Chain A
Amino acid sequence: MLVFATSDKGGTGRSVTSSNVVYRRALSGKDVSYVDFDFGSPTAGAIFQIDSITHGTAAGGLHSYLRGEIPEPRMLDVWSESDREVLRSQPPGAGRMVILPGDAAGGEFSVSPEMVRRCVDLFLRLEAEFDLSLVDLSAGRSYATDMALAATAEPALRGLTTRWLVFHRWTRQHILAAAALVFGERGIIDAGTARGHDSDRLRRAIRFVRTAVVDPNSEELAGLRPAQVAWLRDCNYDLRRLASQLGIGRTAMLGSVPLDPVLQWREQLISDDDVALTEVANSSTVEAFKLLAKRLDDDLAWEGL
Chain B
Amino acid sequence: MRIQPRQQLLEVWRAVARTCYPGDSWQWGGRDQRNSISDAEQILCLMGPATQITTFKVDLPDETAEDVLDAVAALGDSVEIPQLLIQVLTQYFQAYTDESGAPVFSGGSYFSAGAQEPTPEQLTLNVVDSYSVSIRLALASIGFVRVFRNVVRRDALRRAVEELESLASQRLTAAMLGLLRSFAVNTFDVSSEYGQNLCRMVNQRQLTMRQVVDDLQRELREIKAGLRDLTVGIGQVTDLDNENKLFECGWSWGIIAGAPRIEVGAQQVPQPDGVAEPLPYLYFTVVALDCIQDLFSDRTRILGLLDDEQQTLARALQIRWDLTQSYWSRIARFGRGTWPLESMPWRTTDGFESDYLTLLIASIMINDLASRRASTSDLQRVAELLRELGARARITRRPLPRDPAVSLHQPGFELVLEGSEALGGQRLTWYLADFAPQLLKQTLRVAGLLRDIPTRGRTIALADQIWEGHLLRRRMAGGPAAQLWDQPSQIYEDLKPGGDQPSWYYTERVVSCLVAAADLVAGPPLPSPVLADLAGDLLAEADHLFDQELLSVSAEAGPSMGTALQTVRATLRRAHETRSELPGTAAVLAMDVLRDLRRLASARLDASGTA
Name A residues whose Cβ lies closer than 8 Å to a Cβ of B. 200, 204, 217, 240-241, 243-244, 249-252, 303-305
Flag B50-74 by CB within 8 Å of A: 1 or 0 each.
0000000000111110100000000
CB distance from A301 to the nearest CB of B (A): 9
Q: Are A243 and B66 in contact (CB under 8 A)?
A: no
* Binding-face segment, B147-155, B166-174, B597-605: B147-155
CB distance from A295 to the nearest CB of B (A): 11
Q: A250-B78, A251-B78, A251-B79 are in contact. Are A305 and B62 (CB under 8 A)?
A: no
Q: A217-B66, A304-B79, A305-B79 are in contact. Are A251 and B154 (CB under 8 A)?
A: no
Q: Are A305 and B157 in contact (CB under 8 A)?
A: yes
**Of A240, A250, A305, which is within 8 A of B153 by CB?**
A305
CB contacts (< 8 Å) of B62 on chain A: these are 240, 243-244, 249-252
CB contacts (< 8 Å) of B60 on chain A: these are 244
Instruction: Report 6 cross-chain contacts, Cβ distance below 8 Å, ordered by A residue.
Output: A204-B153, A244-B60, A249-B62, A251-B78, A251-B79, A305-B83
CB distance from B79 to the nearest CB of A (A): 6
Give CA–CA (A240, B157) in the complex, Å.
24
Q: A251-B151, A303-B154, A305-B151 are in contact. Are A244 and B63 (CB under 8 A)?
A: yes
Give CA–CA (A204, B152) in the complex, Å.
12
User: Smallest CB-CB separation from B70: which chain A residue?
Assistant: A217
CB distance from A213 to the nearest CB of B (A): 12
CB contacts (< 8 Å) of B66 on chain A: these are 217
CB contacts (< 8 Å) of A305 on chain B: these are 61, 79, 82-83, 151-154, 157
CB distance from A218 to the nearest CB of B (A): 11
User: Smallest CB-CB separation from B152: which chain A residue?
Assistant: A305
Further pairs besides A250-B61, A252-B62, A305-B83: 10, Cβ < 8 Å: A241-B63, A244-B60, A244-B63, A249-B62, A251-B62, A251-B151, A303-B154, A304-B79, A305-B61, A305-B154
User: Smallest CB-CB separation from B63: which chain A residue?
Assistant: A244
User: Smallest CB-CB separation from A217: which chain B residue?
Assistant: B66
Q: Are A304 and B78 in contact (CB under 8 A)?
A: no
CB distance from B552 to the nearest CB of A (A): 33
Q: Are B157 and A250 in contact (CB under 8 A)?
A: no
User: Smallest CB-CB separation from B148: which chain A residue?
Assistant: A305
CB contacts (< 8 Å) of A251 on chain B: these are 61-62, 78-79, 151
Give CA–CA (A243, B78) in the complex, Å.
15
- B126-160 residues with Cβ-Cβ distance < 8 A to A are 151-154, 157
User: Smallest CB-CB separation from B65: which chain A residue?
Assistant: A237
User: Smallest CB-CB separation from B66: which chain A residue?
Assistant: A217
Give CA–CA (A252, B82) in the complex, Å.
15
User: Smallest CB-CB separation from A204: which chain B residue?
Assistant: B153
User: Smallest CB-CB separation from B67: which chain A residue?
Assistant: A217
CB contacts (< 8 Å) of B83 on chain A: these are 305
CB contacts (< 8 Å) of B153 on chain A: these are 200, 204, 304-305
User: Smallest CB-CB separation from A216: which chain B residue?
Assistant: B66
CB contacts (< 8 Å) of A200 on chain B: these are 153
Give CA–CA (A243, B60) in the complex, Å.
12
**Of A217, A241, A249, which is within 8 A of B61 by CB?**
A249
Give CA–CA (A244, B78) in the complex, Å.
13
Give CA–CA (A201, B564) in the complex, Å.
60
> Which 8 pairs of residues, A with B, have the shortest CB-CB distance?
A249-B62, A244-B62, A250-B62, A251-B61, A305-B152, A250-B78, A251-B62, A244-B63
CB distance from A303 to the nearest CB of B (A): 7
Q: Are B63 and A304 in contact (CB under 8 A)?
A: no
Give CA–CA (A197, B60) in the complex, Å.
29
User: Smallest CB-CB separation from B151: which chain A residue?
Assistant: A305
User: Smallest CB-CB separation from A200: which chain B residue?
Assistant: B153
CB distance from B80 to the nearest CB of A (A): 8
Give CA–CA (A241, B63) in the complex, Å.
7
User: Smallest CB-CB separation from B80: which chain A residue?
Assistant: A300
Q: A304-B79, A305-B79 are in contact. Are A240 and B154 (CB under 8 A)?
A: no
CB contacts (< 8 Å) of A252 on chain B: these are 62
CB distance from B53 to the nearest CB of A (A): 16
CB contacts (< 8 Å) of B64 on chain A: these are 250
Give CA–CA (A244, B66) in the complex, Å.
15
CB contacts (< 8 Å) of B61 on chain A: these are 249-251, 305
CB distance from B7 to the nearest CB of A (A): 15
CB distance from A207 to the nearest CB of B (A): 12
Give CA–CA (A165, B153) in the complex, Å.
20
CB distance from B33 to the nearest CB of A (A): 34
Flag B154-194 by CB within 8 Å of A: 1 or 0 each.
10010000000000000000000000000000000000000
User: Smallest CB-CB separation from A233: which chain B residue?
Assistant: B66
Give CA–CA (A204, B154) in the complex, Å.
10
